[in-house]
Amino acid sequence: MSDPNVPDFSALEGGEEQQAFDAVRAVVNWYTTQLAAEHRAPVPDETRMGELKAARQAALDDQAQLATADPEEAARVAAVYAARLKELTQS
């Protein structure tokens, strides 16, 4: 019998994976938005577009790896991408 004074977090299994997925998705969306804006520019910067595409692809690759990541790896990815999003949106 479980102690009613101890919270039951069993339903939260996979929380790290979802947080990581959400963080990576937010970064991918940022790159996609920047690519669209650059594409619409009167004179698109091809170098910047290449950098944005490469960074977006790297994020998509990391997102794909989350399917087999353990909770510790997922937590690390979530932290890395949360920091990256903060850095990207503050610059």
pLDDT digits (tens, 9 = 90+) for 34-48: 999 999 999 999 999
pLDDT band at 15 (very low <50, low <70, confident <90, very high): confident
Q: Regarding predicted confidence, which is higher, 78 or 15?
A: 78
∠ CA 25-26-31 to the nearest 5 degrees? 95
pLDDT digits 0-9 by tens, 51-91: 999 999 999 999 999 989 999 999 999 999 999 999 999 97
pLDDT of 2 above 70: no
pLDDT of 17 above 90: no
Distances from the Cα of 63 to the Cαs of 32, 34, 70, 73, 78, in angstroms? 15, 19, 13, 12, 10
Give the Cα separation of 57 and 63 in Å (integer). 10
